Amino acid sequence: MESWLQGSILTWVTFLPLATAFGLLGSTLLALFLKTKPLSPTVWKAVALAGTLLTFLLSVFGVWARFDPEQSGFQLLERVPWMAEWGINYFVGVDGISLVLVMLTTFLMPVVIVASWNDIGRSRRTYVFFMLFLETGMLGAFTALNLFQFYVFWEVMLIPMYFVIGIWGGPRRVYAAVKFFLFTMVGSLLMLVAMLVLYWANFEQGGALNFDLIDAGAAQGVAILDTVLPVESGEGTPWWATQFWLFAAFAVAFGVKVPVFPLHTWLPDAHVEAPTAGSVVLAGVLLKMGTYGFVRFALPLFPVAAVTFVPLMFGLALVGIVYGSLVAMIQKDVKKLVAYSSVAHLGFVMLGLFALNLQGVTGSVLQMVNHGLTTGALFILVGFIYERRHTRDIADFGGIARPMPVYAALFGIVTMASIGLPSLNGFVGEILILLGTFQADRWVAVVATSGVVLAAAYMLWLYRRVMFGPVVHPENRGLIDLDWRERLVVVVMILPMIWIGVQPGPVLRRIEPSVAVVLDHMAQRGAALPGRAVDPEPGPDEPVETARWTPDVEGAP
């Protein structure tokens, strides 16, 4: 690969989809101007597929292959001043945590475009445009190493998703789209205020305006992640400057996205109304934005508060697991069932994160990827049957395995992955999370394990009701099995499930060192984490150990 490409590989990966989108838009404007026929929607889709595939290939060969798993810090850094007078830079880089999520995103997008090839009936060009726009938004958020830049991508991403749900969704699509947008906005804007408090606290300590998460050498002042924030309010420290409230603001923003239990109500609506592609991206990537936000920002920034919040977060995660599973069990609509299963799965992820130990957090990060793959595949499969029958009611099915054996087989594999059958990906993530949680609090782990059982119950029950038994409804008799395109899509999704299930090493090897940095950083900042060194009195006067965030200082061990 050329060096100009290598030097800014993350920028290429992030903005290639957007460039494709604007290229297509430009072609239409040009056609309008020249009074010729604009490119057909099929050409748009083909170009979009090519663009996302190229993005995926670039991310495989340019990012994944060049990522050094031996290094724990951020790699492939690029930094360009943006609004430098405010300490805002275009600053990107990946560590193991963002790496796997970037890979998940670039992998899912071409799959989704193929899966929804015939799904979208109207305004197909606009649809393609928004999907490409969305990909850039998500990749930009995962790679951002500047808090402001992260916020920009985090918010901008909402717009295409809002339109995807609102234009191409089901009957209650407008309600679902607006609800999705508003829920996220409440959290984000509170986070914005917290960000500003953090920004000015950072200014007081470093003497320069700075939004960079890590010290890139060139920036003045203190890196955002090294900002020391007060724990107690008191003289000169108003309530809003304490870690507790700042954490709370960030937690609401990320908690809405995850979604954590009482903030989850937008999710079933959004999933049920969204078109298949929207659901896949929503479940596959957008929800991970929330959990990623916790591990990247909320935990290392406010370590003491994070430890304080552990009981609450455990509680909410458990409620999410048990409640999500139980509600999933009684759903009549297949898609809604899968949506609620997401609440339960993300409950596991939250549990692992707040176990605050290596196994738990690593398992969580892995489970983010797993959930993206399995739930994404489930939504695609549900979409396929919906295209054929125009219903998602479980009662309308039964005995589908007879007319559609391939479908039933593939659905079975994905179901197994979702309930965590060993040798498929779900197992690895769940076992790590449960191991981690067990170390943190064994009773929480015991309750959480019931979630695994419940997951098996609702998924297998769903499978039996849809696939097995006699074909009750005559309409189902003539169903056509998956064609080559649909088979390809699902098989491509299943391959990484098996790969991670059988050989999780390559993925875990990349995640684990980065998780260790986060935990060490928290311990250094005064969080009482068992098994981690606790810095007794962290203060701005002490030499700040930033070495581990930045790879050039770290070097190979």
- Measured from the CB atom, the residue of 126 and 449 that comes closer to another protein is 126
The C-alpha atoms of residue 535 and residue 521 are separated, in whole angstroms, by 10
- Of 67, 74, 107, 162, the residue at the interface with another protein (CB under 8 A) is 162
In order, the DSSP letters of 311-369 are HHHHHHHHHHHHHHHHHHHT-SBHHHHHHHHHHHHHHHHHHHHHH-SHHHHHHHHHHHH
- Of 159, 431, 491, 498, the residue at the interface with another protein (CB under 8 A) is 159
The C-alpha atoms of residue 301 and residue 256 are separated, in whole angstroms, by 19
* Helical segments of 397-441, H only: 405-419, 425-440
- Output the six-digit token pair for 316: 């909410």
- Does 181 interact with another protein (rule: CB under 8 A)? yes
Span of 186-194, 262-270, 471-479, 516-524 interacting with another protein by CB under 8 A? 186-194
- Does 190 interact with another protein (rule: CB under 8 A)? yes
Residues within window 67-96 making contact with another protein, judged by CB under 8 A: 82-83, 85
Least Å distance, CB 203 to another protein, is 8
**Which distant-in-sequence residues (6+ apart) come within 8 Å of 496 by Cβ?**
107, 373, 425
Least Å distance, CB 46 to another protein, is 22
- Helices 442-467/405-419 angle, 10° precision: 170
- Measured from the CB atom, the residue of 237 and 391 that comes closer to another protein is 237
- Does 189 interact with another protein (rule: CB under 8 A)? yes
The C-alpha atoms of residue 487 and residue 234 are separated, in whole angstroms, by 62
- Does 460 interact with another protein (rule: CB under 8 A)? no
CB 550 within 8 A of CB 214: yes
One-letter amino acid at 112 equals V
- Does 39 interact with another protein (rule: CB under 8 A)? no
- Does 240 interact with another protein (rule: CB under 8 A)? yes
Which whole-number Å values give the CA distances from 215 to 115, 200, 365, in the listed order?
Answer: 42, 17, 24
Span of 167-175, 283-291, 452-460, 477-485 interacting with another protein by CB under 8 A? 167-175
Which whole-number Å values give the CA distances from 427 to 325, 458, 518, in the listed order?
Answer: 17, 17, 24
- Measured from the CB atom, the residue of 99 and 224 that comes closer to another protein is 224
- Of 57, 196, 330, 395, the residue at the interface with another protein (CB under 8 A) is 196
- Does 200 interact with another protein (rule: CB under 8 A)? yes
Span of 177-185, 345-353, 359-367, 409-417 interacting with another protein by CB under 8 A? 177-185
- Does 192 interact with another protein (rule: CB under 8 A)? yes
Residues within window 104-123 making contact with another protein, judged by CB under 8 A: 123
In order, the DSSP letters of 33-61 are HHT-PPPPHHHHHHHHHHHHHHHHHHIII
> Where do contacts with another protein occur on this chain (CB under 8 A)?
82-83, 85, 123, 126, 151-153, 155-156, 158-159, 162-163, 166-167, 173-174, 177-178, 181-182, 185-186, 189-190, 192-193, 196-197, 199-200, 203, 238, 240
